[in-house]
Structure 1
Amino acid sequence: MNHATNPADGTRIRFTTAGSEDRPCVLLVHGSALSSAVWRGFGYVKTLSRDFHLVMPDLRGHGRSDTPHGEDAYAMDAIVGDLLAVLDAVKVHRAHYVGYSFGARAGLALAVTAPERLSSLSLLGGSARPQRGAMDAMFFPDSADVLEREGMDGFVRAWEKQRRSPVDQATRSAFLENDARALAAYFRRSDREPGIDDETLESLALPVLAVAGSEDHLRVEDTRALSRTVSGARLAILRGVDHAETVAAALPAVETFLAARARRS
């Protein structure tokens, strides 16, 4: 496990790597309440490390990275700073980016802030829209309050009551390793994120793959809108898949997209 330090506030970001360093780099960024472990759990490392150098950070407040408890520590510009620090730490100027949910939103912000650092952008269950109410809609009402009051165990129990199926073991394990107070602060700050306007999205000039499950009622329409706004973006709708299932189900589409980008580079 390696680490990078965000120079703006000293937050330490842990990350792992896989695959040969002489291959094109792919930055894989997980979603809310998860960690970089999901990329192994759902087969991305096994599938992609043959052809790519994979760099997999734990976002601040998640996994083994630092877990500040102040809400403003989770502003999107801080997250972007973390990702740039990771790329600097591995001495990679340009990387392909794959982000799920929160990681997809962070990827869009990174693409707007530092487009020269990205070769392509794969967005799984992502959104460029304002996020007010999104966490409660994704999980359950008053989710931040439950995190603070009942911890991660209570959060997972409450979430399962809202789902159509039990939480898979890889996701459950990642959730339970989190700091509940840090996650609550992130949830509350995320609720204030303004999103990215269409004019800014239209200015993006890199290959984009936008993926969502047909049953991801929170994000599928946002993903469709994103694919229409970003010039040349490719859209993949995964039939019968909800938001939590998207990260696993998207792997074939991501593999095909990255392989095509690598051949052209």
Structure 2
Amino acid sequence: MQDVRNPVDGTRIAYQVVGTGTPLLMVHGTALSHSIWRGFGYAKALQAQYRLILVDMRGHGRSDKPHDSDSYAMDLVVADLLEILDTESPFEPAHVLGYSFGGRAVLSLAIEHSDRVRSLTVGGGSSRPMTGAFDALFFPGCVDALERAGMDGFLEGWGIRRGRPVDPQTAAAFRRNDALALAAYMRRSDVEPGIDDAVLRAMTTPTSMFVGSKDRERRPDTEYAASLIPDCSLTVIEGTDHASAVAASEAVLASLIPFLNQN
């Protein structure tokens, strides 16, 4: 693992580089880490053609895990990603891909620093205000559950809401998190404003989006954002919800690889 420090607040951000070719920055979702891209088969499928920059977001994986909610402001998250690109791809725009929280982060990156982004792929993402997003996405009171009962309590509540237990691979990834850091990140996300529709309509970065057909909360948000961004393509991953869409790598890669190749 390598790391950089955010130039604004000094938070250390860990990442790993694998493969050769055009840079592709890959950003995971809530409570996961860079290891999902290996575990779900993305790295194996892409590393022969792309130089994969696999990030552990602040509060996740091997990156620093502050317990202060203000440490998770989106401008700081974007600065984390920009510092990595400045280090690993200073002279060449990179493809960027993000899922869920990572999707919101790379969307913000592409808007604020479009010259650094060759193409944008957003999975299960949203441009809307984040108020109540985690209660809707996981279960009501999920942040309180993290603070009170830790990760096991959170996973139990999420499984009840889903009607079935969280799959073992995702559950194991969640359990590797610092529950208080994750709660701080969620509380900050709850007050993040949305991205104005006019900003999305003005985007020029080639953009692709994907979302699970059973993702009750994020499918409408993803479809809405895709309808506003010029020439944005949208792939619906059949039979998957928010937790399982990113794991359906074969279906995601079927649309992702042609999109990357043409950009």
Q: CA shift at 1:169, angstroms?
A: 2.4
SS in 2 for 1:243: coil
**Identity score, percent:** 47
Encode CA deviations 1:216-259: one digit per residue, 9 max, x unaligned: 01011111111110000001112221111111225544454344
Cα deviation for residue 196 of structure 1 reads 0.3
Corresponding residue for residue 187 of structure 1: 186
Shift of 1:144: 1.0
Q: TM-score of the superposition, structure 1-length normalised?
A: 0.95
| SS at structure 1 position matched to 2:121 | strand
Equivalent residue for 2:127? 128
Give how far 1:94 is off.
Answer: 1.2
TM-score normalised by L of structure 2: 0.95
Q: CA deviation at 1:260?
A: 4.3
Q: Secondary structure at the match of 1:16?
A: strand
**Number of the residue aligned with 2:243:** 244
- Runs ≥4 residues deviating over 4 A: none
Amino acid at match of 1:229: L
Separation in 1, partners of 2:262, 2:198: 30
- SS of residue in 1 equivalent to 2:246: helix
Give the whole-Å Cα distance in 2 for the aligned partners of 1:260 and 1:167: 30
Name whichever of 135-144 and 149-158 sits farther off. 149-158
Aligned residues, how many? 262
Q: Distance in 1 between matches of 2:242 and 2:44?
A: 23
1:211–1:250 contact (8 Å) kept in structure 2: no
Q: Deviations over 1:172-219 (max 9, x none)?
A: 121111111110010111000111011011111011111111110101
Aligned to 1:168: 167
CA deviation after TM superposition for structure 1 residue 170, in Å: 2.2
Once residues 103 and 10 of structure 1 are traced to their aligned partners in structure 2, the CA distance between those partners, rounded to angstroms, is 20
Counterpart of 1:44 (choices 25, 42, 47) is 42
- Distance in 1, matches of 2:209 and 2:89, equals 27
Name the amino acid aligned to 1:199: A
Could you tell me whether the CA contact under 8 Å between 1:128 and 1:226 is conserved in 2? yes
C-alpha distance 223-250 of structure 1, shift in aligned 2 (>3 A): farther
Q: Give the 3-state SS of the residue equivalent to 2:222 in structure 1.
A: helix
Change in Cα spacing, 1:222 to 1:19, as seen in structure 2 (3 Å) is same
Instruction: State which drifts further: 158-167 or 117-126.
Output: 158-167
Q: Over aligned residue pairs, what C-alpha RMSD do you find?
A: 1.4
Asked if 1:76 corresponds to 2:74, the answer is yes
Q: Which amino acid aligns with 2:105?
A: A
Indicate yes or no: 2:205 matched with 1:206. Answer: yes
Whichever residue aligns with residue 208 of structure 2, its letter is L
Deviation readout 1:80-127 (Å, 9 max, x if unpaired): 000011112223441111100000000111011101110111111001
Summarize the Cα distance change of 1:157–1:24 in structure 2 as closer, same or farther, 3 Å threshold: same
For 1:33, the equivalent position in structure 2 comes to 31
1:1-265 superposed matches below 5 A? 1-20=1-20, 23-92=21-90, 93-249=92-248, 251-254=250-253, 256-264=255-263
Unaligned runs of 5+ in 1: none
CA–CA distance in 2 between the matches of 1:94 and 1:64? Answer: 26
- One-letter identity of the residue aligned with 2:165: P
Q: Secondary structure at the match of 1:121?
A: strand
Distance of 2:98 and 2:259 partners within structure 1: 18
Deviations along 1:156-178, one digit per CA (max 9) or x if unpaired, are 12211222332222211211111
Deviation at 1:261, TM superposition (A): 3.4
Q: Contact 1:126 / 1:219 at 8 angstroms: preserved in 2?
A: yes
Maintained 8 Å contact 2:208/2:259: no
SS at match of 1:181: helix
Separation in 2, partners of 1:42, 1:182: 25
